[in-house]
Amino acid sequence: MTELLQQVINGLSMGAIYALIALGYTMVYGVLRFINFAHSDVFMLGAFVAYYTARAFGRWGFVMGGYLGGIAILLLSMTACAVVGIVIERLAYRPLRRRSTLTVLITAIGVSLLLQNGGQLVFGVNPKAFPDIFPSSTLNLGGLVINSNQLVVLGVAIALLSALHWIVQHTRIGTAMRAVSFNATAASLVGIDTNRIISFTFGMGSALAGAGGVLYAMNYPSIEPLMGNSPGLKAFIAAVLGGIGSLPGAALGGMLLGFVETGVSGTRWSTFRDAIAFAILIGILLFRPAGLLGRNRVEKV
Amino acid sequence: MIWKGWPELGFDRHSRRYSRITWLLFAGCYLSLVGCRQESKTGGLATTNNVESIRIGEFSSLTGPLAGLGQYTHMGVQLALEEINAAGGLEGRPFEVLAEDTGSKAGTAAPLVRKLIARDHVVALIGEGASGRCLEGAYVAQGAGIPLVSPAATDPQVTAVGDCIFRVCYTDPFQGTVMAKFAREQLKAKRIGLLVDASSSYSVGLVDFFKKRLLADGGEVAGEQRYNAGDKDFRAQLTALKATHPEAIFAPCYFGDAGLILRQARELGLTTPMLGGDGWEAPELVEIAGLAAEGALFPVHFSVSSTVESSRHFVEQFTQRFHKPPTGVSALGYDTMKLIADSIRRAGSTDKTAVREALRSTKNWTGVTGVLTLDEERNARKPATIVRVEQGRLVFVTIVEP
Amino acid sequence: MPSWLNRSQLLLMATLAVVGIAQSLSGRLDSYILSVAMGVGINIILASSLNLINGFTGQFSLGHAGFMAVGAYTAAVLTGRLAPQWSPLFGGQVFLLFPAALIVGGIVAALAGALVGAPSLRLKGDYLAIVTLGFGEIIKVIFQNLEFVGGAKGLNGIPDYSNLLWVFGTAAITVYTVWALLNSSYGRGFLAVADDEIAAEAMGLNTTRYKMVAFVVGAFFAGIAGGLFAHLNNSINPSGFDFNKSIEIVVMVILGGMGRHIGVILAAILLTVLTEMLREFGDYRMVIYSVLLILLMLTRPQGLFIWPTRKAARRQNA
């Protein structure tokens, strides 16, 4: 029983991070209809920005280890990632707006390779130890072990998801985002600046990825430039699983994947874990081709 | 002209028959040509006497997930090279190391080694530290008869490729056996949990030999859990292992994983001794794991806190040159380069057979990782030093003789 | 020109003859050049076969490396492990045993292609891409867990049977097959599926079958390329057939201009040689590669080798 509860908690914290990254994939897909392969590397950048700011804070003599400092680092790193995301979109994707999505896809792969390999040059290749940016302690509830970081991860993730939901559903710019996602041409006809909305979407998605990166690094404090590959791929699966383009779908997909992974990990099937994640994805897509919460687009002839 | 018309596949019956006959004849000629060519498939190797410097090829993981391993090795090689050349090389001829990057990727080593041999005319090769890539290159080196010395590839298969392949480190069977012996005899542990990186040949190999020895010594496997490269969350595996109440846990992997494993094990309240392989050794292990690293036990090729004069000298020089302390693989890289240079000197020529023979007759050669003798299987015979992490430092525990 | 051979068959035969001559002279080339050349040939096979699926039929597949792995493992097991039992069948002759192993490898890969294709080809666009990616990864994981073929250690000590003749012979046959298939009256259907699937279906074409044929044929040649790769490199490892390998092939197809025979071949040559040439730059190699990739896509998004055809130019002039 304790073991099961333990796995549930592990699954929750893993799933929350997947959900944050998956949201970025799904938002970009919603407005631009292409898979932003560089997203997982923005995630990596988030962790490194936090690493370097935390070190700088330490050097400048700020009091470290408080919640305030942690939140400041998190926000800084989200902002940095948002800027990077907007710049990437502006330089690499916007010139290709009218080209086929495959062309943009290859460019995205190029950007991803650039960030990974550039990261190896700039940050070095060896794993770095990520400092405790939030006060860290281990809670033991009758055999049930919870790291306080896991709770912080969960809290931050829920806060960010609610904020995102509010922005998309209840603000002007969120409404504009939904309009662009629904039909970009029609949106521009009613006076929405689609380029601005797309930039904004990229910024938000990248900020979420950055936050995901920081949270991931808190949970697994060993960061290196290729750290985005594996969670990026999982989050991508999560986004498609939930129905790419659907925000609640991405959150649901992320959580589901987190649970499945931790569920499989403790068993003798653990080495088949990635294969099982994909098998579930394939299974769901075969029965619900648009994912769990995705809407089926009616084909117009 | 020929591109203009699009071919059609429909022919009339008459022409189709001729087409078939033509194709059959063609295929016959073709196959006989292949048959003739198959035997003479070796040529294309040049000798090295027309170059000024003595060229040594190095292939290692300078980028990618295993770049830590490759770069630390490469730094050791570089330091040795600089020292050798500062001392005048081989009778005035300087050495040159041509380093190629495998990017830690499977399937990249063979073409690189071909390039080093055929293009750059290297006299000898310094192999990759990761066994998988080293093995890929070893077949090519063996085929060309160029001696290859691996600093840190511990998989027994590597030197089994042929009489041109050597190594200056001990092997997985030795390492796995030593750790099992250590766990049984010194720690008095009976039930041991295993955590394996199933996608790494290194990890799988070590666990195999550990298990064999453990069972032979009357121990038992409490539980075996597996994970894949790139995983960061070992809590599920560790939770499952914890439930089997092991007296120790053996988790051979590289230091990046090891740091997280140690940390998460302590978080989950696992207080049993944690044992690793030589891949655990790196300053980053303690940085990542923090306090959780305390008490971790693993074999090293070389102890930074060694008091032997040559080792101390090496640590000083290395730290001065690269502004960080060396790891075991740096010392192995250093020894590899020095051993190759020494063998060429002993051989008295850069002829590949002479160098190979010189390497083969290496006996009681003193390197910074200890006194080394290459046995009939071309493996280094030397003891393993086991260390424990205490207050963030590696402390000598014991030496286990081969 | 003999009337019983059409132009493209003649061209194929000429290519094969040239390759044969090249092979007989290959003893003079250094083995590095040879291995790069063979790498180029293998990539031509991979890119051309993927071009049939991605370019001509318009089905976005990201699992090509998986089929390559199936072929590589099958062929390597046949020539390595099972050779003692098999080779008497071929009189112990490598030049008979090897192609047999390659073809069996291709067939098993084609079966895998059918197995993957049957459920997934109902999906479209990005969904198909992710499902094929998933199958590719599943294939990799399965090989990683198969102790019989070495598991994570991979298969080592595979005999080096690949030579210029086999590699470029197969490459020529692949290109020819794709070409001939597309230009047969049956094959026009592939283009129809790529152009407008709904319209093609409305015209009474069995679009699922076309997609399936493209998938199976593509997988077959990917399998053969895998076999050649295994017998070139002496060792194979499941991690060498991951998602990144599939992406590499997709990049060739897209830079070659999606559905262009010659363009894709040129892109395969260019990218293979480029990665070799960039070795000069050491640590900066992959950074330069990625920057080049981005710049190429931004400046020539339609494909590297797409020029206005002579016919179109004439039309413009008129």
- pLDDT tens digits, residue range B140-155? 999 899 999 999 888 8
Report the Cα C191 to chain-centroid distance in Å. Answer: 19
- When CB atoms are compared, the residue of A117, A219, A266 closest to B240 is A266
Residue A100 has pLDDT above 90, yes or no: no
* Residue C308 DSSP code: -
- Among A167, A174, A181, A208, which Cα is nearest to A81's? A208
A137 vs C71 pLDDT, higher one: C71
C-alpha–C-alpha distance, residues A295 and A282, integer Å? 17
- Do C222 and A77 form a contact (C-beta atoms < 8 A)? no
Answer yes or no: do A102 and C287 touch at CB < 8 A.
no
Answer yes or no: do A266 and B236 touch at CB < 8 A.
yes
Look at residue C267 in the predicted model and tell me its pLDDT: 92
Report the Cα B269 to chain-centroid distance in Å. Answer: 34
Mean pLDDT over residues C268-280, rounded?
87
Look at residue C318 in the predicted model and tell me its pLDDT: 45
Look at residue C24 in the predicted model and tell me its pLDDT: 73
Together in a domain, B193 and B284: yes
ipTM for the complex? 0.86
C-alpha–C-alpha distance, residues A13 and A258, integer Å? 8
Mean pLDDT over residues C163-192, rounded?
88
Look at residue A246 in the predicted model and tell me its pLDDT: 85
Together in a domain, B75 and B123: yes
**Pairing of β B220-227 and β B191-197:** parallel
Look at residue B51 in the predicted model and tell me its pLDDT: 47
What is the dihedral angle through the alpha carbons of C55, C58, C64, C70, rounded to the nearest 10 degrees? -110
Mean pLDDT over residues C69-89, rounded?
85
C-alpha–C-alpha distance, residues C200 and B201, integer Å? 50
Mean pLDDT over residues C77-100, rounded?
80
C-alpha–C-alpha distance, residues B236 and B233, integer Å? 7
The mean-pLDDT minimum among A108-122, B332-346, B379-393 falls in B379-393
Distance from the C299 Cα atom to the nearest Cα atom in chain A, whole angstroms: 9
Mean pLDDT over residues B90-101, rounded?
89
Contacts for A192-197 with beta carbons within 8 Å, 24 or more apart? A195/A94, A197/A31, A197/A173
Answer yes or no: do A272 and C141 touch at CB < 8 A.
yes
Look at residue B290 in the predicted model and tell me its pLDDT: 86
**Pairing of β B124-126 and β B54-60:** parallel
C-alpha–C-alpha distance, residues C143 and C145, integer Å? 5
Which structural domain, as residue segments, surrounds residue B280? 173-300
B24 within domain boundaries:
no
Look at residue B24 in the predicted model and tell me its pLDDT: 67
Residue B42 confidence class, pLDDT cut points 50, 70, 90:
very low
The mean-pLDDT minimum among B20-29, B126-135, C60-69 falls in B20-29
B146 within domain boundaries:
yes
- Among C231, C236, C81, which Cα is nearest to C148's? C81
B370-374 sheet: strands from edge to edge: B365-367, B370-374, B380-381
Structure tokens of B280? 């655990």
A73 vs A266 pLDDT, higher one: A73
Residue C311 has pLDDT above 70, yes or no: no
Answer yes or no: do A230 and B290 touch at CB < 8 A.
no
Answer yes or no: do B198 and C145 touch at CB < 8 A.
yes
Look at residue B16 in the predicted model and tell me its pLDDT: 56
Distance from the A257 Cα atom to the nearest Cα atom in chain B, whole angstroms: 14
B307 vs C1 pLDDT, higher one: B307
- Do B94 and B54 form a contact (C-beta atoms < 8 A)? yes
C-alpha–C-alpha distance, residues C285 and A116, integer Å? 12
Mean pLDDT over residues B396-402, rounded?
79
Q: What pairs with residue B99 in β-bridges? A: B58
Residue B273 confidence class, pLDDT cut points 50, 70, 90:
very high
B397 within domain boundaries:
no
Residue A298 confidence class, pLDDT cut points 50, 70, 90:
low
Residue B48 confidence class, pLDDT cut points 50, 70, 90:
very low
Query: Residues, chain B, total?
Result: 402
Together in a domain, B296 and B367: no
Look at residue C70 in the predicted model and tell me its pLDDT: 97
C250 touches chain A (CB under 8 A): yes
- Do B400 and B383 form a contact (C-beta atoms < 8 A)? yes
Evaluate whether the domain defined by C7-317 bears CATH number 1.20.1530: no
Residue C73 has pLDDT above 90, yes or no: yes
Return the domain boundaries, chain A: 2-287
C-alpha–C-alpha distance, residues C246 and A236, integer Å? 17
- Among B154, B311, B130, which Cα is nearest to B229's? B130
**Total domain count, chain B:** 2
User: pLDDT for B167-206, tens place per residue?
Assistant: 998 888 888 999 999 999 888 999 999 999 987 878 888 9
Look at residue C278 in the predicted model and tell me its pLDDT: 84
Together in a domain, B358 and B251: no
Mean pLDDT over residues A118-138, rounded?
85
- Among B48, B57, B105, B103, which Cα is nearest to B77's? B57
C-alpha–C-alpha distance, residues C274 and A184, integer Å? 39
Mean pLDDT over residues A28-33, rounded?
84
Query: Residues, chain C, total?
Result: 318
Q: Could you tell me which residues of chain B have a Cβ less than 8 Å from any Cβ in chain A?
A: 62-65, 67-68, 71, 198-199, 225-228, 230-233, 235-237, 239-240, 243, 255-256, 259-260, 263, 267-269, 282, 284, 287-288, 290
Q: Is residue C99 classed as helix, strand or coil in its secondary structure?
A: helix
Structure tokens of B134? 């080293």
Determine what percent of chain C is predicted with pLDDT higher than 70: 94
C-alpha–C-alpha distance, residues A259 and A253, integer Å? 10
Which span out of B93-97, C85-89, C148-152 was modeled with the highest average pLDDT? B93-97
- Do B285 and B161 form a contact (C-beta atoms < 8 A)? no
Determine what percent of chain A is predicted with pLDDT higher than 90: 34
Q: Which amino acid is at B141?
A: A
Look at residue C1 in the predicted model and tell me its pLDDT: 46
Per-residue 3-state assignment (H helix, E strand, C coil) for chain B: CCCCCCCCCCCCHHHHHHHHHHHHHHHHHHHHHHHHHCCCCCCCCCCCCCCCCEEEEEEECCCCCCHHHHHHHHHHHHHHHHHHHHCCCECCECEEEEEEECCCCCCCHHHHHHHHHHCCCCCEEECCCCHHHHHHHHHHHHHHCCCEEECCCCCCHHHHCCCCEEECCCCHHHHHHHHHHHHHHCCCCCEEEEEEECCCHHHHHHHHHHHHHHHHCCCEEEEEEEECCCCCCCHHHHHHHHCCCCCEEECCCCHHHHHHHHHHHHHCCCCCCEECCHHHCCHHHHHHHHHHHCCCEEEECCCCCCCCHHHHHHHHHHHHHHCCCCCHHHHHHHHHHHHHHHHHHHHCCCCHHHHHHHHHCCCCEEECCEEEEECCCCCEECCEEEEEEECCEEEEEEEECC
Phi, psi angle pair for C138, to nearest 5°:
-60, -45
Look at residue B84 in the predicted model and tell me its pLDDT: 93
Residue C88 confidence class, pLDDT cut points 50, 70, 90:
confident
Residue C224 has pLDDT above 90, yes or no: yes
Distance from the B63 Cα atom to the nearest Cα atom in chain A, whole angstroms: 7
Q: Closest-CA residue in chain A for C60?
A: A102
Look at residue B89 in the predicted model and tell me its pLDDT: 85
Distance from the B252 Cα atom to the nearest Cα atom in chain A, whole angstroms: 16
B338 within domain boundaries:
yes
B13 within domain boundaries:
no
B331 vs C8 pLDDT, higher one: B331
Return the domain boundaries, chain C: 7-317
Query: What Rg, from alpha-carbon coordinates, does chain C have?
Result: 20
Phi, psi angle pair for B366, to nearest 5°:
-95, 115
Together in a domain, B164 and B179: no
- What CATH architecture applies to the domain A2-287? Orthogonal Bundle (1.10)
Answer yes or no: do C30 and B118 touch at CB < 8 A.
yes
C-alpha–C-alpha distance, residues B117 and B44, integer Å? 10
The CATH number covering residue B369 comes to 3.40.50.2300
Structure tokens of B86? 């500062």
What is the H or E stretch that residue A139 is in? strand A138-141
Answer yes or no: do B240 and A229 touch at CB < 8 A.
no
Distance from the B29 Cα atom to the nearest Cα atom in chain A, whole angstroms: 43
C-alpha–C-alpha distance, residues A149 and A253, integer Å? 22
User: pLDDT for B315-357, tens place per residue?
Assistant: 899 999 999 888 888 999 999 999 999 999 999 888 989 999 9
Report the Cα B388 to chain-centroid distance in Å. Answer: 23
C-alpha–C-alpha distance, residues A21 and A230, integer Å? 12
Q: Closest-CA residue in chain A for B256?
A: A127
Mean pLDDT over residues C243-267, rounded?
88
Which span out of A143-147, C97-101, C282-286 was modeled with the highest average pLDDT? C97-101
Q: Tell me how far apart the terminal alpha carbons of chain A are, to the nearest angstrom.
A: 55
B31 touches chain C (CB under 8 A): yes
B39 touches chain C (CB under 8 A): no
Count CA within 13 A, CB hemisphere, residue C86: 18
User: Which chain A residues are closer than 8 Å to B237 by Cβ?
Assistant: 265-266, 270
Answer yes or no: do A233 and C122 touch at CB < 8 A.
no
User: Which chain A residues are closer than 8 Å to B281 by Cβ?
Assistant: none
- When CB atoms are compared, the residue of B65, B225, B267 closest to A226 is B65
Residue B13 has pLDDT above 50, yes or no: no
Looking up tokens 């079958």 gives C209
The mean-pLDDT minimum among A42-46, A231-235, B47-51, B69-73 falls in B47-51
- When CB atoms are compared, the residue of C4, C31, C145 closest to B118 is C31
The mean-pLDDT minimum among A227-241, B300-314, C58-72 falls in B300-314
Distances (CA, A) of B143 to B43, B110, B147, B164, C38: 11, 11, 10, 9, 18
Distance from the A197 Cα atom to the nearest Cα atom in chain B, whole angstroms: 35
User: pLDDT for A268-285, tens place per residue?
Assistant: 777 888 888 889 888 888
| Partner chains of A (3+ C-beta pairs under 8 Å) | B, C
* Residue A300 DSSP code: P
- When CB atoms are compared, the residue of B71, B260, B267 closest to A147 is B267
